[in-house]
């Protein structure tokens, strides 16, 4: 799948890609606010749905690639949402958010209920990817610590 913004930045068009035949038909279209420079999307493991957001504060839209109605997950993010990835069973998403506690990784179900899984107090980036069988979760996180020293008359 390929996601491309239109030249006027008002839409994101998703098309299929075949390695031999090239670009295929349009699969979905998502309206964007051209004044917001944010976009994230992830296709479900079974290839039937697309989670997409055009605003770092939410919500997340679920677009069906099989003709079903769009669903909106009423997620509200404190800061700029990080990447989000589908859970293996397709019943929710793993999402990142920056809070006063640090960067949080949460499981977000399709009704907007969130459960914090991991907090990185000194981190700025976190994401998770499930194994295909849903039994394991790979968590990637970046963090930094620093100390400032001031020397006078050196």
Q: Is the residue at 154 inside a domain?
A: no
Q: 88-111, pLDDT tens digit by residue?
A: 999 999 998 888 888 889 999 999
How many domains does the structure of the chain reveal? 1
Query: Are 26 and 35 within 8 A, CB to CB?
Result: no
What CATH number is given to the structural domain containing 104? 2.130.10.10
- The Cβ of residue 53 has, within 10 Å, a number of other Cβ atoms equal to 23
What is the rounded CA–CA span in Å between residue 34 and residue 44? 26
Q: Is the residue at 54 inside a domain?
A: yes
What is the rounded CA–CA span in Å between residue 53 and residue 135? 27
- The Cβ of residue 15 has, within 10 Å, a number of other Cβ atoms equal to 16
Range of the domain at 132: 2-143
Q: Is the residue at 148 inside a domain?
A: no
Q: Is the residue at 150 inside a domain?
A: no
Name the residue with tokens 């989670």. 51
| Radius of gyration in angstroms for the set of CA atoms belonging to the chain, rounded to a whole number | 18
Mean of all residue pLDDT scores within the chain = 89
Q: Is the residue at 124 inside a domain?
A: yes
The model's pTM is: 0.83
Q: 34-92, pLDDT tens digit by residue?
A: 888 888 999 999 999 999 999 888 899 999 999 899 999 987 776 655 679 999 999 99
């Amino acid at each position: 799948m390929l996601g491309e913004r239109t030249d006027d930045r008002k839409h994101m068009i998703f098309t299929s890609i075949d390695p031999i035949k090239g670009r295929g038909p349009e699969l979905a279209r998502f309206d964007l606010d051209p004044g917001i420079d944010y976009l994230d999307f992830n296709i479900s493991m079974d290839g039937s749905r697309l989670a997409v957001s055009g605003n770092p504060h939410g919500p997340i839209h679920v677009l069906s690639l099989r003709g079903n109605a769009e669903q909106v997950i009423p997620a509200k993010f404190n800061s700029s949402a990080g990447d989000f990835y589908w859970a293996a069973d397709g019943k929710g998403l793993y999402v990142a958010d920056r809070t006063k506690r640090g960067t949080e990784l949460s499981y977000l179900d399709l009704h907007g209920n969130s459960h914090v899984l991991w907090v990185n107090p000194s981190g700025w980036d976190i994401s998770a990817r499930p194994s295909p069988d849903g039994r394991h979760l790979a968590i990637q996180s970046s963090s930094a610590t620093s100390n400032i020293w001031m020397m006078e008359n050196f």
